[in-house]
A and B are shown apart, each in its own frame.
Chain A
Amino acid sequence: VKYLLMIYQNPLTWQGMPESEKRAFMSDAGAIVDELIASGEWVGGEALADPSTAASVRVRGGVPTVTDGPFAEAKEQVVGYCIVDCESQDRAVEIATRWPDARQWGMEVRPILSPDGVEM
């Protein structure tokens, strides 16, 4: 089963962090990615640009409204994601537990709907 791991951060806190601490975060994350590539569980993932660069789009009655900023106003925002293909949700949660952002902010693990299925 594939899982989306959403990485949450408070961008303001991140900006205030000392450079050395940021580097430690990134190298921790990089090490996990290398490990997942080696285990064959890594499917993909990217870091996102600052939430202030986001555009939220809604169409009502055929009329699009585009507003600057993320969809939900919150201190913590999605700043990146990984997709992993692993045996169980427990394993996906274990990966999220080790992700550096989980120590400071949080991670959200979501199973990805599979296009496969069997009749009942």
Chain B
Amino acid sequence: VTVEPGIERLLRDLAPQVLGAIVRRYGHFDAAEDAVQEALLAAATQWPAQGVPDHPKGWLITVASRRLTDQLRSDEARRRREAAVTLAEPAGPASHAAVTQDGERASGQDDTLVLLFLCCHPELTPPSQLALTLRAVAGLSTAEIASAFLVPEPTMAQRISRAKQRIAATGARFTMPPAGEWAGRLQVVLHVLYLMFNEGYAATSGEATSRPELTAEAIRLTRAVRELLPRDGEVAGLLALMLLTEARRPARSALGGALVPLAEQDRTRWNSGQIAEGLALVTGALNTAPLGAYQVQAAIAAVHAEAATAAETDWRQILGLYNLLERITPSPVVTLNRAVAVAMVDGPQAALGLLAILETDERMAGHHRLAAVRAHCHELAGDRAAAAAGYIGAARTATSLPERRYLEARAAGLAAGARDTGAAGRGPGAGATGRGLEAGAGAGAPACGAGAGAREAGAAGGA
């Protein structure tokens, strides 16, 4: 069925609100989702011909409620038949009577937020939180989510249904978390949106082009959260971070999908609209809200965005921001990124000292990004042999194909440069001119987005 783009967009925006309203009324996450799907399908087939109703959301809620109550009633009848027991009183959905009492107090927007809180329930693992959020809040089909994560559809279906069972088992209610838990729960929601963005950002360098754009979904959902919580500095910071990172997308891959490092990107191809919006958001947040990790990461991305060329990058300011970030959310990935800034400000030897300390951290030891940054420092220090060997070692431990290719190319470039010293001025060995090898989060980009330790070691951490 092809639906007009206008109606499709409307349905996508309304879907989480309708699902939220239905779950709030009746509970039964699973059955509610089926009922909402049926209502959306009915709308997609009827509205183009009959016109969009005056109150589209009310229409969808009515249709979905009817489907759900029919379903619950027939389930109940079947259960009774099967049990062959006459119940004194029909045990209809407990919350059924509460529907009208509950009324329409909460707006549809609040329903979206409550639905996000439910999908990002702390009892779930991050992959489950992500999958469920994409399914229930973003409205992606199970097949689309499976294709985004490159797993078979039954695997993803299982992950989603287990997540729902888990939520049901915890007895989680479809309500706002109590005031005392609010901040912690919002932190989990933001972390899930951050992971969603990272997955999408890493995927856009991939070769499979039919994968849905998770970055667009993450930005859309973060915008929705920001509309609900316009004064929250971290929500603004996360949205800014996403926009400033996404802005580089047109410049980050060369023909054939090869990754172009930040320092070599054609900055005229960066999306200026997204940069302007991201800069305004982060500036506003830093001036008005308590400081947080997303804001600092966005600020780092902003410093990069403001440099017209890589050579003009204000590394001193970036180093200061990493010092700050390390105090807010200490993690080996943040330290690794700080080392990149240290190399630019205090020189490669100082950075190598910092990396030696990281070697002893078992979360980082053997990680290809640590090896890559070390190789980069050797390159800056003029030790081409150590740099080339380091890049080869890093390539060997990378589990991302584009990153491995990039690292192999760096090693090959150094070898070629060593043979042809005459071309050093423009060859890949000319690292001293400020070729910054930024480790993901350093550029405000996902921290180790595709690395093995991505989820544990994410710079923003969400902890």
Interface of chain B residues 423 through 463 with chain A (CB within 8 A): 437-440, 443, 445-446, 449-450, 452-453, 455-456
Question: In this assembly, does A81 line the interface, its C-beta being within 8 Å of a C-beta of chain B?
Answer: no
Residues of chain A within 8 A of B152, CB atoms compared: 43-44
Q: Are B400 and A120 in contact (CB under 8 A)?
A: no
Specify which of B127, B265, B400, B406 is in contact with A40 (CB 8 Å cutoff).
B127
Q: Mark B7-25, 1 if CB is under 8 A from A, else 0.
A: 0000000000000000000
Question: In this assembly, does A119 line the interface, its C-beta being within 8 Å of a C-beta of chain B?
Answer: yes
- Quote the shortest CB–CB distance from B91 to chain A (angstroms): 29
Q: Provide the main secondary structure of the chain A interface.
A: loop
Residues of chain B within 8 A of A10, CB atoms compared: none
Interface of chain B residues 236 through 290 with chain A (CB within 8 A): 252-253, 259-262, 265
Residues of chain A within 8 A of B79, CB atoms compared: none
> A117-B400, A120-B372 in contact; A43/B155 too (CB < 8 A)?
yes
Question: In this assembly, does B95 line the interface, its C-beta being within 8 Å of a C-beta of chain A?
Answer: no
- Quote the shortest CB–CB distance from A90 to chain B (angstroms): 10
Question: In this assembly, does B202 line the interface, its C-beta being within 8 Å of a C-beta of chain A?
Answer: yes
Residues of chain A within 8 A of B233, CB atoms compared: none
- Quote the shortest CB–CB distance from A88 to chain B (angstroms): 7
Q: Are A116 and B206 in contact (CB under 8 A)?
A: yes
Q: Are B449 and A116 in contact (CB under 8 A)?
A: yes
- Tell me the bound Cα distance from A114 to B252 in angstroms: 18
Q: Give the number of chain A interface residues (Cβ < 8 Å).
A: 24
- Quote the shortest CB–CB distance from A7 to chain B (angstroms): 20
- Quote the shortest CB–CB distance from B205 to chain A (angstroms): 5
Question: In this assembly, does A62 line the interface, its C-beta being within 8 Å of a C-beta of chain B?
Answer: no
Question: In this assembly, does B172 line the interface, its C-beta being within 8 Å of a C-beta of chain A?
Answer: no
Residue on B nearest A110 in the bound complex, by CB: B399
- Quote the shortest CB–CB distance from B158 to chain A (angstroms): 5
- Tell me the bound Cα distance from A33 to B445 in angstroms: 36
Q: Are B259 and A117 in contact (CB under 8 A)?
A: yes
> A85-B155, A120-B440 in contact; A113/B260 too (CB < 8 A)?
no
- Tell me the bound Cα distance from A95 to B158 in angstroms: 18
Q: Mark A37-62, 1 if CB is under 8 A from B, else 0.
A: 11111111000000000000000000
Residue on A nearest B368 in the bound complex, by CB: A120
- Tell me the bound Cα distance from A119 to B260 in angstroms: 6
Question: In this assembly, does B201 line the interface, its C-beta being within 8 Å of a C-beta of chain A?
Answer: yes
Specify which of B151, B154, B403, B404 is in contact with A118 (CB 8 Å cutoff).
B403
Q: Mark A90-119, 1 if CB is under 8 A from B, else 0.
A: 000000000000000000000111111111
Specify which of B259, B399, B455 is in contact with A119 (CB 8 Å cutoff).
B259
- Tell me the bound Cα distance from A117 to B205 in angstroms: 6
Residues of chain B within 8 A of A117, CB atoms compared: 202, 205-206, 259, 400-403, 406, 449-450
A116-B449, A119-B259 known; 9 new pairs, CB 8 Å cut-off, are A1-B399, A88-B452, A113-B400, A114-B150, A115-B206, A115-B400, A116-B205, A116-B206, A120-B439
